Amino acid sequence: MDFLLLMDLQAQTGLTGTIIRIIITAGALFTGAWLLKGVTFRDFGQAILGAVVLAVLNATVGRVLDFLSIPFTVITLGLFSLVVDAVILWLTSRILQGFEISSAWYAFLLAVLMAIFNVFLHAIYL
């Protein structure tokens, strides 16, 4: 029965699907902050707000940066997209109070962890 419920959640692309993706991203952000000492969140509520801000920045600034970095992304076989993700994470930390990234290296490591978490969690839940 739970499998059928999960299949229904996978099919949803509206508001419910968006909320599920935001919660998954918030969980990945919060777990990344737990694993990396240079990344801190005040609480899980801030992680949810961070996921919302991250989604908005990815939809706007991230698209522009992805387009501008196409040559670098092609040369590095896609690895440069992690740098773009790190920049978006850093911007998110500057916009949101209660979310701190202490250096560019921690932003990059968080981007790598987020990529790994997103691959696994989206494969399972979405």
Task: Scan for tokens 């939809």, then name that residue.
Answer: 59
Q: Report the alpha-carbon distance of residue 61 to residue 59 in Å, rounded.
A: 7
pLDDT for the residue numbered 61: 93
pLDDT for the residue numbered 123: 77
Domain, as residue range, for 80? 2-125
Q: Report the alpha-carbon distance of residue 33 to residue 19 in Å, rounded.
A: 21
- Whether residue 84 contacts residue 70, with contact meaning beta carbons closer than 8 Å, is answered with no
Q: What would the pLDDT profile of 83-126 be if each residue is shown by its tens digit?
A: 999 999 999 999 999 899 999 999 999 999 999 987 887 677 65
- Note the residue count of the chain: 126
Q: Report the alpha-carbon distance of residue 56 to residue 79 in Å, rounded.
A: 22
Amino acid letter, 19 = I
Phi, psi values for residue 41, rounded to 5°:
-125, 145
Sequence-distant (6+) residues with CB within 8 A of 116 are: none
pTM recorded for the entire structure: 0.83
Domain count, the chain: 1
pLDDT interval class at 39 (50, 70, 90)? very high
- Residue 52 pLDDT greater than 80, yes or no: yes
